[in-house]
Amino acid sequence: MRKLVDSGCGAVAGTISRESIVSEATAGWYANGAEWESYWDGTKWLDQHRPVATQRASAPVLADPMTNGSGVLPGAEGALPEAEAEAEAEAEAEAEAEVDLFPFASSGVVIDIRPDGVHLEGTTWLGRAAVGDKPRVVAWEDISTLESTNAGIRIREGRKAIVIGVPSKEAAKALLIVERLAQAFETATGRAIPTSATTRAEREVAVENVFRRALSRKVQAIAAVIESGDHPAEVVMSHELLAWAKGQKIKGGVELASGELDNVRRSLGAHIPSVVGVVSSGLISRNITVFDDRVHRGAEAHPIDAFTQAQVFLDGQVQVTSRPSMTAGLIGSVLPGSALLPALAFGKKEKTDTRQAEFQVGSRDWIFTKKIPVSVVAEARSIAQRVNAIADGMELVARASVDTAAATSSDADLASQIERIVALERSGAITAAQAEAMKARVIGL
């Protein structure tokens, strides 16, 4: 908005440069803002000003052809048309309303708008139960629905519904909060989100769309890691992706995530892992899943490298015991009191298996162990042998590469040898320490 300043003879716009008017403009009264007019004699501004209402009783206000009747003084620098000024005033009013609206607190929860999402913070035990123990931001891309309900405000983060209670006396404000959140969502994502009540089918579609967008982002992040050659990081991120997909409870979500991941690996020429076996005890515990290049257990995953070893321990023994059978003794006795001899001869034999088995697999900085039934020892040993064979193969490849590099070492191909060692390290075939030792041998330190 322009500010009017008193010049002693009326009010003039403080942004007007009197020397800047075009000399061709005809003499007359010209609009100076929305409420005042100033007089131009054809060559210069006169110190004559009057309110707009005065024009009804005197000469009309001239519209300068250069401004097309916009109401801005000829040559006035920085002056805004009246429509723009009104729009600016409305924007300022909206900004002030936004400041007054957020942060919004209700039922022990503080809601605020951030560039990356909706900030939620629980200030009471009830609020923390609704939004989590620590302040956090629900990313715009993770929001599937926004609703104002009879109970308050409902924000769905994927499938999870976060309900923030709002008193009935602030129901109108809750509606405004949801509308503001929807506007910020559209600004951030470029997509509109409905704020009215949704059907179950609509919610399922919205949740699946959020899942697919998040899956795409996560797969692209894994693709970047694969391209960098960081195999251990790819193992961890891939496992986390599948665990996340399972937790989203989308029908066919795990299969979709696995398929997208394999497609990316295939397009980049990366190895697609295959399952060697699963070590399970049949109890409610975390199984160990062994692939041909990695091992999973619960939320953890590690790559198989040249130092990985697997084995099965079997302790205890099978004991066979016998006890007298008095039934057999009585049947076999010929004289009273002679039943003990047949009872001992035909005693019952009992077998007691006290053996305990455990499967172990690990490398230098990690190890997985699992108690297993004796009945699956043979299968577990087969899996362990396969793991050891994979690790031995990696060790042979690493040694062969180093031996070849050492045999053909020369100043001309020194750089290429170092690059091969770096490639082996990135693929996970050798460790960082091994790589440094190999480089030292090639250089001759």
Residues 153, 158: Cα–Cα separation, whole Å: 16
First to last CA, the chain: 75
Query: Across the strands, what pairs with 273?
Result: none
- The amino acid present at 53, given as its one-letter code, is A
374 by Cβ neighbours in 10 Å (0-12 / 13-18 / 19+) ranks as middle
What sign does the dihedral 25-29-31-36 (CA atoms) show?
positive
Report the distance separating Cα 427 and Cα 425, nearest Å.
5
Amino acid identity of residue 397, one-letter, is V
Half-sphere exposure of 122 (CA within 13 A, CB side): 15
Instruction: Kindly calculate the radius of gyration of the chain based on its CA atoms and give it in whole angstroms.
Output: 41
Q: Supply 144's token pair.
A: 């599937």
d(CA 288, CA 360): 10
Reported residue count of the chain is 445
Task: Give, for 86, the enclosing helix (H) or strand (E).
Answer: helix 82-101
| Whole-number pLDDT of residue 4 | 36
Angle in degrees, CA 166, 169, 170, rounded to 5? 50
* Token pair belonging to 210: 């959020």
Structure token digits, residue 287: 């199984």
Q: Verify cis geometry, omega within 30 degrees of 0, for the bond prior to 51.
A: no
Q: Which residues partner with 294 through β-bridges?
A: 303
pLDDT, residue 214, reads 94
Check residue 147 and report its DSSP letter. E
Q: Enter the DSSP assignment of 115.
A: T
Question: For residues 437 and 418, what is the distance between their CA atoms, to the nearest angstrom?
Answer: 11
State how far the alpha carbon of 347 is from the alpha carbons of 58, 332, 438, in Å: 135, 12, 68
- The angle formed by the CA atoms of residues 13, 68 and 19, to the nearest 5 degrees, is 40
Give the whole-angstrom CA distance, residue 19 versus residue 267: 68
Q: What is the pLDDT of residue 104?
A: 93
In this prediction, residue 112 carries a pLDDT of: 95
- pLDDT for the residue numbered 73: 47
Can you give the pLDDT of all 445 residues of the chain as single tens digits?
A: 333 333 333 434 444 444 444 455 777 888 787 778 888 887 888 878 788 754 444 445 444 444 444 444 444 444 445 566 666 666 555 555 555 789 999 999 999 999 999 999 999 999 999 999 999 999 999 999 999 888 899 999 999 999 999 998 888 889 999 999 999 999 999 999 988 888 999 999 999 999 999 999 999 999 999 999 999 999 999 999 999 999 998 999 999 999 999 999 999 999 999 999 999 877 667 899 999 999 999 889 999 999 999 999 988 766 666 555 556 555 555 555 555 555 555 556 666 667 789 999 999 999 999 999 988 999 999 999 999 999 888 887 777 766 665 555 555 567 777 777 877 777 666 777 777 777 777 776 5
Give the burial class of 175: count Cβ atoms within 10 A of its Cβ; 0-12 exposed, 13-18 middle, 19 or more buried: middle
| Cα→Cα distances 120→97, 133, 141, 231, 424, Å | 20, 10, 16, 36, 46
Residue 281 and residue 372 in contact, taking contact as beta carbons nearer than 8 Å: yes
Write out the two tokens for 235. 């193992």
In sequence order, which residues have a C-beta less than 8 Å from that of residue 323 and are 6 or more positions away?
347, 348, 350
pLDDT at residue 434, rounded to an integer? 74
Q: Which residue has the tokens 């990081």?
A: 233
For residue 18, what are its two tokens? 């009197």
Enumerate helices (H) and strands (E) in the chain, giving the number of each. Answer: 11, 22
> Could you tell me if 106 and 178 are in contact, meaning their C-beta atoms sit under 8 angstroms apart?
no
Angle at 421 between CA 416 and CA 423, to 5 degrees: 90
Structural contact between residues 67 and 31, judged by C-beta atoms closer than 8 angstroms:
no
DSSP letter for each residue of 215-252: HHHHHHHHHHHHHHT-HHHHHHHHHHHHHHHHHHT-TT
